[in-house]
Amino acid sequence: MQTKMTNSYKERLKEITRVLHKHAITRGVSPEKLRLILTDLGPTFIKLGQIMSMRSDILPKRYCDELQKLCSDAKPMAFSEVEEVLQEAFGCPWQEEFQEISRVPLGSASIAQVHHAVLKTGEEVVIKVQRKGIYEIMARDIGLMKKAVKLLPPVSLKEAVDLNLVLEELWRVTQEEMNFLTEASNMEEFSRKNKNVAFVKTPVLYREYTTANVLVMEYIDGIPIDGKDRLLADGYDLDEIGSKFVDNFIKQVMEDGFFHADPHPGNVMIQDGKIVWIDMGMMGRLSDRDRELIGDAIEGIALNDIGKIQDAVLALGEFKGKPDQSRLYTDIRDLMAKYGTADFGQIDIVEIFTDLMDVMKENKIVMPHGLTMLARGLTHMEGVLAKISPKINMVQIAAARLKENLLEEGSWKKQLKGTGKKLYRSLLRAVDLPALAADFFQGCMKGQTKINLDLHASDDLAWLLRRLIRNIVLGLWVMALLISSSIICTTDMKPKILGIPALGVLGYFGALVILMYLFVKHFMKK
C-alpha cells in the first residue's frame, strides 16, 4: 500500500514537472501562461487559480484578470461516490433521511458538486457534496508543486511574486473553503445581519444534515439575476432590482462589515420579488476601522482632497518598508488628475478603486485581505449591472446610503465626539508650541540644530507653506489672547461682565472666534 502511494506521488510529481517544462516556466510566467499551466495541471489547480484571481494583494492585476477566465466546470463525481460521502457523513444510507436525490448533479466543480433532493418531510433541498478524498488530493498536489518549484531554477513573474508565498496562502484559503461548517456559519451570520431587509433572502440552512463535507440548504427555484429576458417576462423592473442589489451590497460592506465576496450571477437569484444570496463559501470582512477609512477615502475622492485620500491609504495598509509619502502623494495626485473634474456621480467606482489599489501596490503597501475581496465583489457587481441595468450608478447609491448613515443619531454623535477629541488634542499641542519654538531657536543659536529639507517642486508646495504659516500665526494669536485675558481676569479692572473684567471676556471671545474660523476652514477643506 505504502509503495503504491509512493509511486503515485512520484508519478504526480513527474506530471507537474513535465507541465512546468512544457510551458518553459524558467523563461518567465506571463498571465496567459499561468492560466494554461493551471489548466493542464487539472481541477485542483484550476480551483487554486480561481482563488488566486481574488488575491490582488499578492498577484498583479493582470494575472488576476486572466485567472478569472478559468472554467470552474469539472467532470461530475460518480453517484456511487456521492453515496459513500453521504454514508460517511450521516452514518446511515441516505435513503433514511431523503425521499430522493437526483443522480444528475445541478453543477459540478473541482471541490464539490450539487444535487437536487427531497427530504422525508417533503421539503425540496440541494445537497452540496464534497468530492471524495479532495482534501488529501489538494494537500498532495500543493506539496508536490512546492517541490517542483524548488527543483526548477528561480522563477519570477514580472512583478516579482514569491510563488512559495502564494502557494502557502492558497492552501490556507482552500482549507477554509473545504470546511462546509464554515460556510454554514457564514449563512447564519449573513441571515442575521440581513433579517430586517425586506427584499433580501438567504436559503434556509438544515444544520442537522450539515457536516464538514456535506451542506444541505433550501432549494431556490428562482431566476439568475442576469436573466434579463425571464425577469422582464415575469414583470420585474430591472432598474429596481439593480438599485436594490447595489444598495444591499453597500449595506453589507459599510454597515455590516461582512459581505458576499463572489456575487456573480450564479450566486444571486431572484425569487418572489426578493434577492436571494447563495454560496457563502467566499465572504469578505472589514473591521470598523477599515470601513471608516474606506469612507474617508471615498469622501476624499468626492472632494478631490488628496491629503485625505493619502491619510486613509496610509492608515489602511501595512508597509513592506519605509513609505515614501511624497511619492505616494504624487501618485494619488496623478490618479485624481486622470479623472479631471468629472462629477462624482459619473465616476466608475470599480475603475478608480482598482487604480487606487494599484497605487498602494506600487508603493509597497500591503492591503487588508477584506479590501481585495471587496475589489473582486465590486467587479462582479459592475458586470451584473452592465447586463440588467447599465444606467444604475453604484457611486450615487453608495453616496445616498453614506449620507443616510451620517444623519443617524449614533453616527453624528460619534463624529461629534471624535471631532471634540481632535480639537482637545490640537489645543494641548498648541499650548506647547511657544516652548517648542523657543527650544528650536535656542538650538539654532548654539549650532545644535540641523534641518534636513527634502523639497519637491510641485504646485501644492506653496499652498501647503501658506497654510502652515497662516495656522502658526493664528495659533500664536490665540495663545496671546488666552494668556493676556487670563492675566487681566486676575485683576480688578472695570468695567466687568458677570464679575469678570470686560477686556478679559473680549480677549477670550476673540480667541474663540479665531478657533471657530480654523475649525470651519478645516472642514471646508475636507
pLDDT, tens digit (0-9, with 9 covering 90-100), for 329-342: 888 888 877 765 55
The separation between CA 382 and the C-alpha centre of its own chain, rounded to angstroms, equals 15
**Alpha-helix residue ranges (DSSP H) falling in 23-159:** 31-41, 43-52, 61-67, 79-90, 134-151
**Alpha-helix residue ranges (DSSP H) falling in 208-321:** 228-233, 238-251, 288-303, 306-316
- Distance (Å, rounded) from C-alpha 162 to C-alpha 29? 12
Determine if the peptide bond prior to 495 is cis (ω within 30°).
yes
Q: How far apart, in Å, are the Cα atoms of 494 and each of 231, 488, 499, 505?
A: 81, 10, 9, 12
* Contact indicator for 242, 231 with CB cutoff of 8 Å: no
- C-beta neighbour count of 334 within 10 angstroms: 12
Instruction: Cell numbers for 125, please give them.
Output: 433541498
pLDDT at 406: 46
Q: At 410, which amino acid appears?
A: G
Catalytic member of 57, 141, 226, 262: 262
Convert the pLDDT of each residue in 198-256 to its tens digit. Answer: 999 999 999 999 999 999 999 999 999 999 999 999 999 999 999 999 999 999 998 89
Whether the per-residue pLDDT at 384 is higher than 50: the answer is yes
The separation between CA 28 and the C-alpha centre of its own chain, rounded to angstroms, equals 30
Stretch (H or E) spanning 271: strand 268-271
Q: Which residue has the cell 468626492?
A: 302
Question: How confident is the prediction for the chain on average, in pLDDT?
Answer: 78
- Which residues, 6 or more positions from 10, have their beta carbon under 8 angstroms from its beta carbon? none
- For β-strands 268-271 and 365-366, DSSP reports them as unpaired
pLDDT at 158: 42
Of the candidates 314, 312, 263, 267, the residue with the CA atom closest to the CA atom of residue 284:
263
pLDDT at 105: 93
Q: How many CA atoms lie within 13 A of 205 on its CB side?
A: 23
Q: Could you give the angle at the alpha carbon of 277 between the alpha carbons of 131 and 59, nearest 5°?
A: 65
SS3 for 342?
coil
Whether the per-residue pLDDT at 494 is higher than 90: the answer is no
Give the pLDDT mean for 98-123: 92
Give the pLDDT mean for 70-93: 87
Q: How far apart, in Å, do the first and last CA atoms of the chain sit?
A: 69
Whether the per-residue pLDDT at 511 is higher than 50: the answer is yes
- Distance (Å, rounded) from C-alpha 480 to C-alpha 485? 8
* Contact indicator for 263, 375 with CB cutoff of 8 Å: no
262 has catalytic annotation: yes
* Contact indicator for 100, 118 with CB cutoff of 8 Å: yes
- pLDDT band at residue 367 under the 50/70/90 scheme: confident
What residues pair up with 428 in beta bridges, in sequence order?
none
Q: How far apart, in Å, are the Cα atoms of 474 and each of 37, 221, 381, 464, 469?
A: 64, 67, 49, 15, 9
- pLDDT band at residue 7 under the 50/70/90 scheme: low
Q: Which residue has the cell 522563477?
A: 155
* Contact indicator for 106, 114 with CB cutoff of 8 Å: yes
- Distance (Å, rounded) from C-alpha 395 to C-alpha 302? 10
Q: Could you give the angle at the alpha carbon of 267 between the alpha carbons of 42 and 316, nearest 5°?
A: 85
Instruction: Cell numbers for 343, please give them.
Output: 462629477
Per the document, the length of the chain is 526
- pLDDT band at residue 346 under the 50/70/90 scheme: low
Instruction: Cell numbers for 174, please give them.
Output: 482552500
- For β-strands 200-201 and 274-277, DSSP reports them as parallel
The separation between CA 38 and the C-alpha centre of its own chain, rounded to angstroms, equals 26
pLDDT at 488: 77
- Which residues, 6 or more positions from 31, have their beta carbon under 8 angstroms from its beta carbon? 62, 63, 65, 66, 67
- Distance (Å, rounded) from C-alpha 133 to C-alpha 78? 13
Instruction: Cell numbers for 28, please give them.
Output: 518567465
Helix axes 180-193, 163-178, angle to 10 degrees: 70
Q: At 123, which amino acid appears?
A: E
Convert the pLDDT of each residue in 442-489 to its tens digit. Answer: 655 555 555 544 444 455 556 667 777 777 877 777 777 778 777 777
